[in-house]
Structure 1
Amino acid sequence: MRIGNTEIRVLGGWAGCLTMILVSVLLSVLLTVLLNILLR
């Protein structure tokens, strides 16, 4: 996948799957924390 000049290589196999799961969990936690801080 290509975004501008940056080449993003999608990992295959279990490592890619695990990485994508970890990234999505981390992002959702960060977004939740940010929203809680903003809405207080």
Structure 2
Amino acid sequence: MRFGNVEIRPLGGALGCLLMIVGSILLSIILTVVVNLLLR
């Protein structure tokens, strides 16, 4: 997957799966905080 200049490649194995899950959770938290700050 590509987001702008950043390319995200799912890694093999359980570690890659875990990293993708943690990354998506962190991104959703950051996006929620940003949206809340913008709407304040």
- TM (norm. structure 1) is 0.75
Percentage of matched positions with identical amino acids: 64
* Structure 2 unaligned regions, length at least 5: none
RMSD: 2.4
The structure with more radius of gyration: 1
* Structure 1 unaligned regions, length at least 5: none
Number of matched residues? Answer: 37
Give the Å deviation of 1:10. 3.0
